[in-house]
């Protein structure tokens, strides 16, 4: 039964208190508190917002534009008063004729010094009548733009952002597996050093017991001073090794706490030990690689990258196609000229269609398209290369897992022999037929066998996790 009592997580997301950490608990804490996982979650959100932004391009855009301008002078159409000739209706001709000054003697129109006929009557337009106050000009417009055909760019961008959102999720899940693998490595390192600490304590106790026995034998004259010194040196070295193991254990627990987001100085224990490692599970030598590909988040991310590159190619293609949009607007200004020229606001609606047809850009748009096409080819080649590397990765991981199990089985056998050798040496020492050096040699062999068994059992766990990771079956 796991006790969940005192140690609290460092972040606000973790309100679980623990004194004993299980592997699953460590994984949960790490996934909650890991900064890269938080970054991954934010990237998923950002990709979702970009997807919504791309969808908005299907809908009409409504904008408002306003401006104000101050002008120093008024607008004048004439530089002076204008004298315009007039016409009268002539019954004889049935037409309007200019009213001109005539010579009383001849009755002919009179010309002025400039060679133009002199009108007898004029209509005067004062200069002030054609001046307009434009000191303060206000303008505003509400426009509506509805895309009709953008060369396929809007459709491509919506697909692209959809793939980008999936890509962000796959990258986040891939990072989650990396975090889990790091947690497992740190967790089993703590378990390993716990076991080695217990082993070091047992080894010190063995040497301490031998040291006392040799001391008694020295007092009785059946052992030499050299025997006692040899055991003392071995005991001192074992005590130094015990201190090193304690320091290593403390540092490894700090590392695990940091990965889990716990205060690094908190005291805790781990639930697992190395009392038993199952060797019944058989490791396959061949796998259905298509299923492996479908489970690998990094490979799915590369596949999405190929799709994104394909949509980017379509976006580049759209720059060479016509764009059609419906445009509507309501514009208003002051002064306005809709009904004379008055210093008040007046406005009107307008509707039209805007068409843009690319004609010649010196190959710029086409080269952009070709670059996008090459990028898609690059992404496809990267995907194929990754599949080949995954094939090798799976084969190597399976081989290492098999090798770890075989090594563990051999260390179990060696440990049994080392236990029997130590037992025999201790009996022989008590009977006086075996020297202290022989006992210490047997103890050293026993220590080595136990240490190798600990390392092998840890290797079994880590190889199993790594195999699950490369197969895409690592449980998150």
Which of 401, 319, 411, 300 has its CA nearest to residue 360?
Answer: 319
Pair of tokens at residue 234: 């071995």
At 11, is the pLDDT very low, low, confident or very high (cuts 50, 70, 90)? Answer: very low
Phi, psi dihedral angles at 264 (to 5 degrees): -70, -20
For the residues 188-195, what does the mean pLDDT come to? 94
pLDDT tens digits for range 137-176? 899 999 999 999 999 999 999 999 999 999 999 999 999 9
Estimate to the nearest angstrom the gap between the alpha carbon of 411 and the chain centroid: 44
Which of 26, 24, 29 has its CA nearest to residue 10?
Answer: 29
Using the CB atoms, write b or e for 6-33: b if 16+ within 10 Å: ebebbeeebeeebeebebebbbbbbbbb
Helix, strand, coil proportions of the chain in percent (round to 5)?
A: 60, 15, 25
Predicted TM-score (pTM) of the model is 0.79
Please provide the DSSP assignment of 25-43 as one string: HHHHHHHHH-HHHHHHHHH
102 pLDDT higher than 70: yes
pLDDT tens digits for range 287-337? 899 999 999 999 999 999 999 999 999 999 999 999 999 999 999 998 888
Q: CA 441, 444, 445 angle in degrees (round to 5)?
A: 90
CA atoms of 184 and 190, how far apart (whole Å): 10
Q: Are 365 and 358 within 8 A, CB to CB?
A: yes
Pair of tokens at residue 441: 């040699």
Res 15: pLDDT: 43
- Residue indicated by tokens 């133009």: 116
Q: Are 315 and 372 within 8 A, CB to CB?
A: yes
CA atoms of 287 and 284, how far apart (whole Å): 7
- Residue indicated by tokens 């009548």: 129
Using the CB atoms, write b or e for 221-243: b if 16+ within 10 Å: eebeeebbebbeebbeebeebbe
At 82, is the pLDDT very low, low, confident or very high (cuts 50, 70, 90)? Answer: confident
pLDDT tens digits for range 326-335? 999 999 998 8
CA atoms of 152 and 448, how far apart (whole Å): 70
Average pLDDT across the chain, whole number: 88
Please provide the DSSP assignment of 213-275 as one string: HHHHHHHHTSS-HHHHHHHHHHHHHHHHHHHHHHHHHHHHHHHHHHHHTS-TT---EES--SS
CA atoms of 248 and 260, how far apart (whole Å): 18
3-state secondary structure at position 170: helix
At 276, is the pLDDT very low, low, confident or very high (cuts 50, 70, 90)? Answer: low
pLDDT tens digits for range 233-272? 999 999 999 999 999 999 999 999 999 999 988 888 898 8
Phi, psi dihedral angles at 126 (to 5 degrees): -65, 145
């Amino acid at each position: 039964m796991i006790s969940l009592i005192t140690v609290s997580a460092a972040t606000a997301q973790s309100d679980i208190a623990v004194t004993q950490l299980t592997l699953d608990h460590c994984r949960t804490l790490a996934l909650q508190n890991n900064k890269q996982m938080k970054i991954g979650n934010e990237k998923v959100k950002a990709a979702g917002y970009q997807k919504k932004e791309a969808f908005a391009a299907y809908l009409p855009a409504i904008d408002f534009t306003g401006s104000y301008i101050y002008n120093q002078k008024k607008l004048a159409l004439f530089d002076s008063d204008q004298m315009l000739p007039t016409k009268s209706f002539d019954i004889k001709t049935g037409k309007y004729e200019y009213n001109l000054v005539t010579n009383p003697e001849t009755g002919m129109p009179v010309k002025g010094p400039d060679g133009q006929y002199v009108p007898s009557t004029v209509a005067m337009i004062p200069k002030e009548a054609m001046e307009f106050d434009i000191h303060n000009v206000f303008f505003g417009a509400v426009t509506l733009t509805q895309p009709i055909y953008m060369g396929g760019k809007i459709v491509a961008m919506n697909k692209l952002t959809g793939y980008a959102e999936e890509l962000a999720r796959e990258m986040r899940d891939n990072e989650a597996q990396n975090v889990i693998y790091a947690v497992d490595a740190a967790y089993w390192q703590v378990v390993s050093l716990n076991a080695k600490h217990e082993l070091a304590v047992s080894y010190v106790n063995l040497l301490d017991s031998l040291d006392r026995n040799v001391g008694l034998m020295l007092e009785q004259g059946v052992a030499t001073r050299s025997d006692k010194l040899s055991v003392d040196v071995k005991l001192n070295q074992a005590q130094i090794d015990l201190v090193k193991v304690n320091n290593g254990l403390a540092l490894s627990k700090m590392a695990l706490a940091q990965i889990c987001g716990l205060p690094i100085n908190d005291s805790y224990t781990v639930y697992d030990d190395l009392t038993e490692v199952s060797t019944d599970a058989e490791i396959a030598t061949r796998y259905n690689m298509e299923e492996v590909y479908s489970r690998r988040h990094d490979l799915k991310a590369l596949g999405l990258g190929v799709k994104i590159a394909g949509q980017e190619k379509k976006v580049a293609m759209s720059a060479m196609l016509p764009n059609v949009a419906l445009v509507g607007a309501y514009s208003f200004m002051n002064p306005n000229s809709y009904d004379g020229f008055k210093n008040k606001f007046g406005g009107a609606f307008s509707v039209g269609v805007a068409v843009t047809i690319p004609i010649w850009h010196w190959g710029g748009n086409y080269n952009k398209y070709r670059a996008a096409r090459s990028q898609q080819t690059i992404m496809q080649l990267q995907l194929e290369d990754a599949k080949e590397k995954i094939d090798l990765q799976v084969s190597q991981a399976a081989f290492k897992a098999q090798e770890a199990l075989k090594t563990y089985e051999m260390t179990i056998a060696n440990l049994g022999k080392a236990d029997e050798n130590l037992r025999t040496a201790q009996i022989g020492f008590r009977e006086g037929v075996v020297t202290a050096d022989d006992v210490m040699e047997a103890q050293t062999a026993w220590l080595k066998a136990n240490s190798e068994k600990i390392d092998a059992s840890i290797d079994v766990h880590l190889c199993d996790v790594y195999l699950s990771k490369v197969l895409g079956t690592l449980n998150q």
